[in-house]
């Protein structure tokens, strides 16, 4: 059963670069009655990504700077332009490749609505995900980064997945800045530093539809790995938590 929203508005942010084959499925699978607006950040797509998004009622934000984080930052500026009561706003991040199951959104936001936690993360590091959905290098990179964060902060993360939710006000406090692959780890490191209450929830995950851009390519995995580790090492250098 879907829990009532109790006055919360839910804004869904989807960075999308050439996701024509999958984006329509992502948007159709989102539970309409739970979502107030969808913000698709079209990152210079050369296919029909923007057209599909607009046709299905999403707000399309154009961002010419490449990179996952740049797309998210552009979409968040658009979220800012529609919110009325910042204290009643939830932001959900979701990829446009249909790897995550958008119909799980109510599971992700429920702990925020109940006020139990500050950041909810869809966890892919469990046996229930579709075989081959995460590459070995993704599993290794996630394990290493989460182990180091645990050693530095004592916070037990299992994954750095993209499907996540938090309150707008929390997100504002984080002052997110990473323009590309470091977006998810930046958010988790900042959550640890801010002593936020975090919950990871096991969710389904399947191989993407369309062309792989990061994890399925050697170059993309390498760049993402370097970026993620640079965040972790910078954090280690910065010293103990609570010193943002
Ligand atoms: N790689 C990449 N993704 C972008 C960019 N801008 C937006 N995106 C979107 O960010 C989301 C995550 O990228 P993915 O390519 O799925 O990355 P991934 O899940 O690590 O790896 P694969 O699914 O194997 O490619 C997708 O919805 C992309 O379309 C960009 O400049 N680069
Ligand atoms: Mg993907």
Query: What b/e string do you get for 169-194 counting C-beta neighbours within 10 Å, with b at 16 or more?
Result: ebbeebebebbbbbbbbbbbbbbbbb
Q: Whose CA is nearest to atom 22 of ligand 1?
A: 212
Ligand 1 pocket residues where CB is under 6 Å: 15-17, 19, 43, 66-68, 71, 95-97, 99, 208, 212-216
Q: Residue 134 has what DSSP assignment?
A: S
Q: What are phi and psi of 200, to 5 degrees?
A: -105, 135
Residue 184 CA: which ligand is closest?
Answer: 1
pLDDT by residue (tens digit) across 144-202?
A: 999 999 999 999 999 999 999 999 999 999 999 999 999 999 999 999 999 999 999 99
pLDDT category of residue 1 using cuts at 50, 70 and 90: low
* CA–centroid distance, residue 16 to ligand 1 (Å): 7
For residue 167 the two structure tokens come to: 């309150």
User: Which atom of ligand 1 is nearest to 63's Cα?
Assistant: 6
Q: What angle do CA 103, 109, 114 make, to 5 degrees?
A: 140
Residue from 68, 102, 145 whose mutation best tests the ligand 1 pocket (most atoms within 8 A of CB): 68
Residue 78 has pLDDT above 60, yes or no: yes
For residue 124 the two structure tokens come to: 């892919």
Number of CB atoms found within 10 A of residue 84's CB:
7
Strand 119-123's sheet: what is its strand order?
59-62, 37-42, 9-16, 89-93, 164-167, 119-123, 198-202
Tell whether the torsion through CA atoms of 57, 59, 62 and 65 is positive or negative.
Answer: negative
Compute the distance between CA of residue 137 and CA of residue 168 in angstroms, rounded to an integer. Answer: 32
The mean-pLDDT minimum among 17-26, 41-50, 168-177, 233-242 falls in 233-242
pLDDT value at residue 240: 66
For residue 239 the two structure tokens come to: 């010293």
Compute the distance between CA of residue 213 and CA of residue 162 in angstroms, rounded to an integer. Answer: 14
CATH class of 9-238: alpha beta
User: Which atom of ligand 1 is nearest to 216's Cα?
Assistant: 24
Asked if 130 and 207 touch (Cβ cutoff 8 Å), the reply is: yes
Which residues hold their Cβ within 5 A of ligand 2, which is an ion? 95, 97, 99, 208
Tell whether the torsion through CA atoms of 201, 207, 208 and 212 is positive or negative.
Answer: positive
Of residues 216 and 61, more confidence is placed in 61
* CA–centroid distance, residue 107 to ligand 1 (Å): 23
- Nearest-CA neighbor of 149 among 238, 79, 35? 238
What contacts 87, CB < 8 A, 6 or more positions away?
169
* CA–centroid distance, residue 75 to ligand 2 (Å): 18
Q: Residue 148 has what DSSP assignment?
A: H
What's the Cα-to-Cα distance from 76 to each of 129, 146, 210, rounded to whole Å? Answer: 29, 26, 25
């Amino acid at each position: 059963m879907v829990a009532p929203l109790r006055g919360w508005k839910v804004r869904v942010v989807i960075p999308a670069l050439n996701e024509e084959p999958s984006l329509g499925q992502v948007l159709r699978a989102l539970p309409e009655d739970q979502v107030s607006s969808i913000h698709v950040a079209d990152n210079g797509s050369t296919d029909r990504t923007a057209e599909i998004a607009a046709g299905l009622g999403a707000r399309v934000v154009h961002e010419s700077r490449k990179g996952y984080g740049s797309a998210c930052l552009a979409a968040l500026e658009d979220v800012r332009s529609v919110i009325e009561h910042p204290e009643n706003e939830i932001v959900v991040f979701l990829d446009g490749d249909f790897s995550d199951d958008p119909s799980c959104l109510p599971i992700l936001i429920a702990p925020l609505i109940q006020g139990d936690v500050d950041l909810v993360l869809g966890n892919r590091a469990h046996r229930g995900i579709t075989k081959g959905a995460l590459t070995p290098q993704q599993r290794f990179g996630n394990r290493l980064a989460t182990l180091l964060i645990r050693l530095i902060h004592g916070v037990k993360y299992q994954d750095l997945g993209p499907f996540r939710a938090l309150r707008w006000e929390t997100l504002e406090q984080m002052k997110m800045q990473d323009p590309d692959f470091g977006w998810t780890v930046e958010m988790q490191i900042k959550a640890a530093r801010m002593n936020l209450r975090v919950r990871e929830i096991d969710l389904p995950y399947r191989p993407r539809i369309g062309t792989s851009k990061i994890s399925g390519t050697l170059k993309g995995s390498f760049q993402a790995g370097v970026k993620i580790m640079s965040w972790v090492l910078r954090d280690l250098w910065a010293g103990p938590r609570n010193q943002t």
